[in-house]
């Protein structure tokens, strides 16, 4: 299946066909209310994708949240499970509704339940993306709905079944679940005007609807204490995962975290920069703070 995988995840024993890798805390580490996910860091590009694509192996990676799974890999040490995608975002975007599909990409008509209109589809970034992050078209041909259905059933559904169960486990154990969805953003996105200009991290809580204010405030305060410039909901307010899982009234809180790629990697080559180690160490300090937080009064 895999024809191009720039690097394998260290310690990954899930098998080449698996859509995600789940790392749980070791036995004996107290269960946390926290759950971490990284839906866009997958770096396995299936042969069928590359055969249908206009892009080469370097160009198609422009939408990948490279190395984010590595940045959060230490979270299980403080009791936080980590669910990370293995297959590339260009194959299927796990931070979208499964049926958020662009009709123009497909032969024939899509089923009535497909969501063919959204701002993300207009931008070319539906569940099966039409473009990579800079707007370059991915495919040289139209797809069939059967292809989309196969991807959803093999990748999207197992990933979200696993994520839903992790959230349910945390809530059963702690009475509350706090899901943090980890992403990276191009530095160019932070150079635009507005509240997010020049920021290092953007916290997306759907303008307060996806989590209690204390969740965003705790993460923001800890990052600011380490010297990071933090913005809220601009230019990213949170995607499908934040919107779908965030139900504060039911004890489930969801927050999206976007990290400026310039902090930790060369955005042209996607290679880790000297800042990678320092950022990872700061995030490990953040994880310890969050794991020690009493979330029961949210």
The whole-angstrom distance between residue 165's C-alpha and the CA centroid of its chain comes to 17
Distances in Å between the Cα of 33 and the Cα atoms of 178, 217, 293, 297 are 6, 17, 9, 12
* Mean pLDDT, rounded, for 112-120: 85
pLDDT tens, residue by residue, 16-30: 348 899 999 999 998
* Mean pLDDT, rounded, for 181-185: 98
- Scan for tokens 């995840």, then name that residue: 9
Helices 275-291 & 213-225 angle (0-180, nearest 10): 140
DSSP string, 15-72: -TT-SEEEEPPPTTSPPPSEEEEETT---BEEHHHHHHBSS-TTGGGGG--TTHHHHT
Res. 93: pLDDT tops 60: yes
Q: Pull the structure tokens for residue 173.
A: 């154990």
**pLDDT at site 192:** 72
Its pTM surpasses 0.85: yes
**Kind of pairing, strands 2-4 and 20-23?**
unpaired
Contact 160, 94 (CB under 8 A): yes
Helix (H, G, I), strand (E, B) or coil at 152: helix
Q: What is the mean pLDDT of the chain?
A: 92
pLDDT tens, residue by residue, 231-288: 999 999 999 999 999 999 999 999 999 999 999 999 999 999 999 999 999 999 999 9
- Scan for tokens 């504060």, then name that residue: 248
Distance CA 40, CA 49 (A): 16
Q: How many CB atoms neighbour CB 3 within 10 A? A: 13
**Residue 187: left (phi > 0), alpha (psi -120 to 50), or beta?**
alpha
User: What domains lie within the chain, and their CATH numbers?
Assistant: 2-90+155-291 (3.40.630.40)
């Amino acid at each position: 299946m895999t024809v191009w995988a720039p690097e394998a995840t260290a310690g990954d024993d899930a098998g080449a066909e698996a859509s995600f890798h789940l790392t749980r805390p070791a036995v004996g580490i107290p269960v946390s209310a926290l759950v971490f996910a990284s839906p866009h860091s997958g770096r396995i590009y299936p042969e069928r994708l590359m055969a249908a694509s206009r892009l080469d192996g370097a160009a198609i990676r422009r939408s990948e949240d490279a190395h984010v799974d590595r940045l959060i890999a230490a979270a299980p040490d403080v009791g936080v499970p980590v669910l990370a995608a293995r297959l590339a975002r260009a194959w299927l975007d796990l931070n979208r509704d499964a049926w958020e599909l662009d009709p123009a990409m497909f032969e024939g008509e899509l089923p009535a339940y497909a969501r063919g209109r959204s701002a993300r589809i207009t931008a070319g970034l539906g569940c099966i993306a039409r473009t990579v992050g800079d707007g370059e078209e991915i495919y040289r041909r139209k797809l069939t709905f059967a292809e989309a259905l196969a991807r959803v059933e093999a990748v999207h559904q197992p990933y979200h079944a696993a994520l839903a169960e992790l959230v349910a486990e945390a809530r059963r154990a702690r009475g509350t679940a706090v899901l943090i969805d980890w992403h990276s953003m191009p530095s160019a996105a932070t150079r635009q005007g507005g509240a997010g200009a020049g920021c290092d991290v953007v916290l997306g809580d759907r303008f307060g609807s996806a989590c209690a204010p204390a969740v965003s405030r705790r993460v923001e305060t800890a990052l600011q204490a380490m010297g990071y410039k933090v913005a809220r909901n601009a230019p990213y307010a949170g995607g499908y995962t934040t919107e779908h899982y965030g139900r504060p009234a039911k004890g489930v809180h969801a927050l999206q975290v976007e990290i400026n790629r310039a902090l930790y990697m060369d955005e042209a080559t996607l290679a880790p920069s000297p800042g990678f180690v320092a950022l990872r160490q700061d995030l490990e300090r953040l994880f310890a703070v969050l794991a020690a937080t009493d979330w029961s009064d949210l």
